[in-house]
Structure 1
Amino acid sequence: MSQNCISAAVEWFQFIMYAPTFILGLLFNIMALWFLFFKVKKLTESTVYMIALIFLDTLLLFTLPFKIISYHSQDNWTLGSVFCSTLESLYFVNMYGSILISLCICVDRYIAICHPFTALTLRSIKKAAMVCAVICLGTSTGTVSTFQLHGKGHNISSCFHNFSKSTWENVGLLSTLEIIFFGSMAAMTFCTAQTVRCLRKHRIPEHPQTRCSRAERIVVTNLVAFLVCFTPYHVAYFMYFLLRNNVIHISFQQVLRDTVQVTLCWANLNCCLDGVCYYFVLKDFRLNSVASPDLVTYTCTHIPVSFRLACVI
């Protein structure tokens, strides 16, 4: 077994996880996009971010069948080095693009609910589209790194794993990825806490099951899904980086290597959960569109008019 091979148990775990993640994720993401384009009549800042997130998640989902093939073939990748690097770019770049778009959704929601008057100047469809464009362009620069994961001029025989020694010694790459995630996590946790506090402040006690209470559950669910999916991988990745660079010395290197792959597989569940969550939110919005025909004013009907902005999506 080569230094970077995974165990047979992990290979089976990935297949069991990736197959339903791919099928259900693709199904619900396509259904959510269908709702956005054909059922939601008014384009808002929230829907712009949502379209970008679902698009990035869908691109990542398309790489999962090839990831299964890669781990099954181990060191016998036969689909070409360029194709492998392209798949790795879509996989890793879109993961962090999704993290940043999720952050934007959370911050946009926080501004809309907690600072409604400031939101009138900060939020616009054009600005949301520009932010999404900047994130997509910025994360696309990461393709330079992904095309060198196996070393310059290296003939790739193991796609999605068996990266070069120089990749694991790249402190800049590690720092960038960890800062993106943990920085986003801290900002999202703060914004979610403030958003929930504001929603509860304006909830009517006599009617606890209002749209505000549903909004609270959706807001908290988004954060919990984000933390549960991405945190284990980034902790395991950091530990494995320290191990490969001899900062820490432990005897169960194979276990930690397998842990990185398992947690990475777990992180991909977020693509499926995003689609499921936003599909049902949009479906609920559609059912309530007679009372609230604009997605921007969909929730929090008991909050003053100045607060009635995009507080769920």
Structure 2
Amino acid sequence: MENPGLPPHRERVTDLDPRKDRQMSRRVVALFLFSILASIFAIVAYFVWPIDVSVEGFGTIRNNNMAIGIGLAFALLAIGTGVVLWGKNLMSGEEFVEQRHGTRGTDEVRAKVVKIFDDANKESGFGRRKLIRNTLFGAIAAWPLPAIFLFRDLAPAAEPHELLRHTMWDAGIRLVRDPDGTPIRAADVTIGSAFHVIPENLEEADHVLDAKAKAVVLLMRLNPAELNEREDRKDWSYDGIVAYSKICTHVGCPVALYEQHTHHLLCPCHQSQFDVANHAAVIFGPAARPLPQLPIEVDAEGYLVAKSDFTEPVGPSFWERER
């Protein structure tokens, strides 16, 4: 088969006009500099629009993620566009044929490798176009920097168990149904029933979902004769009605499956089981401690109210381990 040879070489506008070459070079540099600025914007956005502070509607997860995402997207887009323009317009456009040859670890092979790198450097202009090269390095170095700042969220400012020690519950706060917020009368809680409960003042929290995640409670009524209560906790229940944190002490899944005949609570994630009749003690599974109990009583109108907050941290037990 006859070798067709290479097609005729077509000169590019940057090959023919040095002024166009300089314009394209400045354009590529500008893109790399823009990428650096976009990365810096993503870092600044992380602090200007924090997730946990409401600043005229901008301090939300959605807007925080949007600002950081825009910065990272434009930073990466500018790097890609700049590299494409550099390759298509400024690097060598000469066609060539690379012949196959054996590769052996000889001095001759090493010399060929060095020559290949030398030729690549000359064709790309990598060593000659220092401004483009350095701004590319800067853009590539700046683009991952926002991720370093985002890692800060993996380490809370306070110890995790301290963040889980206090919830929206307090003395006199009514227990209301989740999600409609209907107050619960003790007389309406029948033996064997279970209610998903939140504090009445939940909407007052700065971050409702975060507060709800810590304060959710499961309310149940047993026959008082079947409750085995410690002396120091006999006044934490009311006529067989008990309230326990809904957050599993294993890894924090919602414990919401109640077996009224056995008085067992089941966590659907890893099958931990808790005995409601015995202070929600762990009877099966990987959970390390009982569910925290919420002390309750009845107010003058017959509604169930909290006597205090939980007396221990809610949620996973591993937060309580020392680092």
Q: Establish whether TM, by shorter chain, passes 0.5.
A: no
Please report the TM-score for the alignment, with normalisation by the length of structure 2. Answer: 0.25
> Could you say which structure has the higher strand fraction?
2
The structure with more radius of gyration: 2
